[in-house]
């Protein structure tokens, strides 16, 4: 099936209420599809094939890029755009940032900052959850790790949102050059004045008995700018919207707060804020009876896979205590998102504190909620009203 003129090719953005409906016909009729757009690519839509390809780094390479279409990166985003064995070497450099110990150390600060942000608008009876809570919180957390000073957090947030919303290689290239210029100065400063941030750690680290280069440090910083905060904020805004649109979910979470950990996993499955990534075949591959030639771009639709009824019972229903829940919202295999534990923590804290402090919030105009085009399913604005809190 050729999908060049189908809605599927329009950035793979599904409807907010019923994302599985968007892909169900394709999973049933033609699970491996082809489009001539963006230089030509294949799309995998069923859980079985998507999960297998996501793990198969030998036949499905992350080089030259995982974005579709290309965002015009001058160099690969590492470790995302690298393959084993190099991938594990780069990935190990992030352990200091995303270790269980480091995340546990951050929990108190994250909750404190979430409470501070909510208290700024709690007495007003109105707010914009995207702009007043989700984006500021996730940006602040990742900038703590990257060593970006307070006065540059808003700039970082704009860059991060821009990277996941890029719609052309030219736009992406211009934005990345601006960001790289900033990081060149930051990394140069850390070489002279090391601190406890990631740049200082990278510059003191080695790969294959050689020092990590400044270019490699820049590549990692650019990667975390696009994937370190705004994707979590996007998930949070979707979750707040779903809780508003489905009163039973709010009631369940308020009556049984112990459901929050499994609820976050279920929300992530349902929403899938990063709808997928691309790979490039390193050899001729047969997938579900379809032969994909060597050197072809392949889109792995995590969003579609997470709504496959062959993998999830009643995928259209949000089941807050769903077990098992082997969703692909964070990918799978060696490329599984290293920041997943941090994202889970941030989401749990935001949902917990919102339901605790402004429990009756309502989205002002649910019909006006929009998901932007780009590499992430971003809800950029989410106005709400609620009973003012004293």
Q: Count H helices and E strands in the chain, helices first.
A: 16, 12
First and final CA of the chain: distance in angstroms? 58
∠ CA 262-259-239, nearest 5°, is 65
Structure tokens given for 383? 């106005």
Mean pLDDT of the chain: 90
pLDDT in tens, 124-179: 999 999 999 999 999 999 999 899 998 998 888 888 888 777 767 777 788 888 89
pLDDT of residue 163: 79
The pTM of this model reads 0.92
In sequence order, the 6+-apart residues with CB closer than 8 A to the CB of 280 are 60, 61, 62, 63, 64, 295, 296, 297, 298
pLDDT band at 390 (very low <50, low <70, confident <90, very high): confident
Alpha-carbon gap, residue 179 to 186, rounded angstroms: 11
pLDDT in tens, 242-298: 999 999 999 999 999 999 999 999 999 999 999 999 999 999 999 999 999 999 999
- 3-state DSSP assignment of residue 206: strand
Tally Cβ neighbours within 10 Å of residue 77. Answer: 23
């Amino acid at each position: 099936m050729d999908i060049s003129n189908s809605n599927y090719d329009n950035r793979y953005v599904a409807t907010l209420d019923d994302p599985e409906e968007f892909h169900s016909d394709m999973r049933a009729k033609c699970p491996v599809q082809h489009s001539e757009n963006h230089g030509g690519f294949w799309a995998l839509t069923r859980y079985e094939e998507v999960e297998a390809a996501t793990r198969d780094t030998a036949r499905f390479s992350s080089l030259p890029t995982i974005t579709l279409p290309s965002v015009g990166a001058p160099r690969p985003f590492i470790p995302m755009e690298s393959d084993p064995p190099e991938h594990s070497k780069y990935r190990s450099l992030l352990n200091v940032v995303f270790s269980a110990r480091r995340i546990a150390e951050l929990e108190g600060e994250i909750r404190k900052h979430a409470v501070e942000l909510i208290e700024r608008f709690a007495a007003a009876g109105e707010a914009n959850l995207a702009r007043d809570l989700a984006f500021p919180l996730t940006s602040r957390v990742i900038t703590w790790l990257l060593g970006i000073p307070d006065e540059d957090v808003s700039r970082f947030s704009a860059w991060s949102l821009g990277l996941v919303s890029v719609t052309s290689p030219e736009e992406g290239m211009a934005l990345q050059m601006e960001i790289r210029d900033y990081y060149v100065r930051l990394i140069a400063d850390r070489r002279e004045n090391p601190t406890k941030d990631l740049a200082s750690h990278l510059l003191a680290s080695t790969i294959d008995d050689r020092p990590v280069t400044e270019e490699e440090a820049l590549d990692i910083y650019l990667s975390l700018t696009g994937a370190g905060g705004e994707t979590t904020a996007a998930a949070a805004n979707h979750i707040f919207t779903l809780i508003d649109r489905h009163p039973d979910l709010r009631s369940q979470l308020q009556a049984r707060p112990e459901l929050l950990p499994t609820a976050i996993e279920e929300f992530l499955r349902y929403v899938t804020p990063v709808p997928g990534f691309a790979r490039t075949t390193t050899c001729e591959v047969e997938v579900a009876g379809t032969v994909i030639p060597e050197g072809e771009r392949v889109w792995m639709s995590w969003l579609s896979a997470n709504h496959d009824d062959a993998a999830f019972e009643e995928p259209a229903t949000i089941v807050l205590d769903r077990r098992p829940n082997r969703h692909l919202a964070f990918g799978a295999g060696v490329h599984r998102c290293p920041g997943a534990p941090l994202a889970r923590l941030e989401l749990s804290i935001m949902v917990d504190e919102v339901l605790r402090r402004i429990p009756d919030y309502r989205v002002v105009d649910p019909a006006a909620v929009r998901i932007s085009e780009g590499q992430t399913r971003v809800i950029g604005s989410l106005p709400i009203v609620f009973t003012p809190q004293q």
